[in-house]
Amino acid sequence: MLIHSGNRDDTETAVTRIDHHDNPIATAPSEQAGRYLDELARQRRQSPHTVSNYRRDLRALDRLIGELPGNVTYRDLRTDHVRRFVIRLHAAGLGGRSLARMLSAWRGFFRWLGMRGEIGANPAEGIKAPRRPHLLPKALSPDEAIHLLEHDGGEDAMELRDQAMFELFYSSGLRLAELVSLDFSCLSDLADGEIRVLGKRGKTRLVPVGKKACEAIRRWAARRAEIARPEEAALFVGRRGARIHPRIVEEQLKKRALAQRSPVGVHPHMLRHSFASHLLQSSGDLRAVQEMLGHSSIASTQVYTHLDFQHLARVYDAAHPRARRKDDGPRGKPGKTG
């Protein structure tokens, strides 16, 4: 199982803190790691984002190996080496989520080396990342989501593009990578209120698109040719006419949230979480939400049932006459009575 979560900036910062040597191996993956990454991209059809994360994690591994005394190779690595690597990275500020992803990358790489007879035992097998608190994904309330999207940017082409992207995030629960990979040709399905999305591992799915999102996309599509290069296939493009970069989408959403005075730091995945939790609150159909999100396992979708319960608990506390008195403390902790 490949783990894609974790903050790449935190990973780079933590590795930089422990990298006190001028390692030639630190700037590029080893020859073996390069072959492994090439196989991930070409044969296993992993996304560019996943391959980029793995490249970063294997570069960190090479830096750590380069700091060991002697000319240590992959074949020489032992479990205690890898365990010390994890301890050092954790001490340098890398969280449990990022370490879990990194260990997954290392295990996969060592497994690949073992299948080719280049190492013996897998030195990362059985090592676990430090436990991390179970955090529920943050979601906007329905009112906050509507307020974020109720923005009149006029007829500026870039504003129309941003509105189309944000409406589509919330309407259909797309991942950031899925949105930026959309091609203009996908609009052939829009007449039926649907759009075809290329998800993880090259799997495609057809997702519904709401009325507001359809209108926003059509308005952007009518102006796209003013900016897009003639040969560009992407639906969403940047100022230079090429496919928009994920970082630009994140930055534009952050600007929108500030302009709308959103109460929380909004990012693309928060709109995906909001889509899922609001849909589940309205329908209660977990399987349908799973299908629309493109989750391969229902377990990934079940986290939204916890968000749904939180919403129901708040509604109960606010509306039920027997729920709480005005002088009550937090749920389950009655306030003091005279």
Segments of 11-106 assigned E as strands:
none
Number of H helices, E strands in the chain: 14, 2
Nearest alpha carbon to residue 293 among 310, 311, 278: 278
Given the residues 49, 147, 205, 269, select the one marked as catalytic: 269
Residues 101, 272, 273, 278: which is the catalytic one?
Answer: 272
Confirm whether 272 is a catalytic residue.
yes
Closest CA to 235 of 165, 176, 155: 165
Residue 200 appears among annotated catalytic residues:
yes
- Yes or no: say if 88 and 64 are a contact pair by the CB < 8 Å rule: yes
Q: Please, what's the b/e burial string for 131-163 (b: 16 or more CB within 10 A of its CB; e: otherwise)?
A: eeeeeeeebbeeebbeebbeeeeeeebebbbbb
Catalytic residue among 59, 101, 175, 256: 175
The answer to whether residue 304 is catalytic is: yes
Q: Does 325 qualify as catalytic in the annotation? A: no
Q: Active-site residue 295, yes or no?
A: yes
Q: At what angle do helices 79-91 and 48-66 cross, to 10 degrees?
A: 100
Q: Please identify which of the residues 200, 224, 256, 278 carries the catalytic annotation.
A: 200
The yes-or-no answer on residue 316 being catalytic is no
Helices (H), 92-156: 96-115, 142-149
Closest CA to 247 of 72, 9, 21: 9
Q: Which residue out of 107, 147, 295, 324 is catalytically annotated? A: 295
Question: Please, are residues 72 and 62 in contact by the beta-carbon 8 Å criterion?
Answer: no
| Residues taking part in catalysis | 175, 200, 269, 272, 295, 304
